[in-house]
């Protein structure tokens, strides 16, 4: 799974990312259906990273899940508004600080008030990114933010403390 998630990040591997999303759907579909999701959004990339890497794994996965759930998908609702250092070499506390106020909800977005949002990413390590994105969505009015990921990394083996 680790190798598949790493390969899915490659610019030529959108089909692999979609296959991983379908695998997630097959294993978690009942919980996802029962969650009462109103909207599906990917964890966003900063503009310069998006230009450098047009394929965004979280976006591919979220699009597949939105189709399966028959719910709206919005790749532009949640935006990353500032460049941040690569999280992979940061400690847990450095990750929190790195992402502080890095996200916003697009001002022209439809109201999130009372909605349940499914936030999608490929890999969850410490949860810092998901927490900051969820906080941003809740501040914008979301009733609940659920997180779906392909893989969860054990902290002790991959993150400095």
Q: Which sequence spans correspond to the domains of the chain?
A: 2-158
Q: Name the CATH architecture for the domain at 2-158.
A: 3-Layer(aba) Sandwich (3.40)
Please give the chain's pLDDT, 161 residues, in tens.
888 887 788 777 888 899 999 999 999 999 999 999 999 999 998 876 665 666 789 999 999 999 999 999 999 899 999 888 887 788 888 888 889 999 999 887 778 999 999 999 999 988 999 999 999 999 999 999 999 999 998 755 555 54
DSSP state string for 66-102: HHHHT--B-SSSEEE-S----GGGS-HHHHHHHHTT-
State the chain's maximal CA–CA distance in angstroms.
41
Q: What angle do CA 3, 88, 84 make, to 5 degrees?
A: 130
Judging by DSSP bridges, how do beta strands 103-105 and 78-80 pair with one another?
Answer: antiparallel
Distance CA 81, CA 78 (A): 9
pLDDT of residue 91: 84
Q: How far apart are the first and last CA of the chain?
A: 24
3-state DSSP assignment of residue 90: coil
| pTM assigned to the model | 0.87
Of 158, 155, 159, 127, the closest CA to residue 147 belongs to 127
Taking the CA of residue 2 as centre, how many other CA atoms within 13 Å lie in the half-sphere pointing to its CB? 5
pLDDT of residue 3: 83
The dihedral region occupied by 40, where left means phi > 0, alpha psi between -120 and 50, and beta the remainder, is beta
CA 104 to chain centre: 14
Distance CA 72, CA 24 (A): 18
């Amino acid at each position: 799974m680790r190798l598949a998630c790493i390969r899915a990040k490659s610019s030529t591997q959108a089909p692999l990312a979609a296959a991983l999303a379908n695998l997630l759907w097959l294993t978690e579909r009942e919980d996802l259906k029962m969650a009462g999701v109103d909207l599906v959004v990917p964890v966003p990339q900063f503009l310069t990273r998006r230009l450098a890497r047009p394929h965004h794994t979280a976006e591919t996965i979220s699009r597949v899940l939105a189709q399966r759930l028959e719910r709206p998908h919005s790749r532009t609702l949640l935006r990353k508004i500032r460049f941040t250092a690569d999280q992979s070499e940061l400690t847990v506390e450095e990750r929190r600080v790195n992402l502080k106020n890095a996200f916003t909800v697009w001002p022209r977005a439809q109201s999130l008030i009372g909605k349940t949002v499914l936030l999608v990413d490929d890999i969850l390590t410490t949860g810092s990114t998901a927490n900051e994105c969820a906080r941003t969505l809740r501040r914008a009015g979301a009733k609940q933010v659920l997180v779906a990921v392909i893989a969860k990394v054990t902290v002790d083996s991959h993150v400095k403390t």
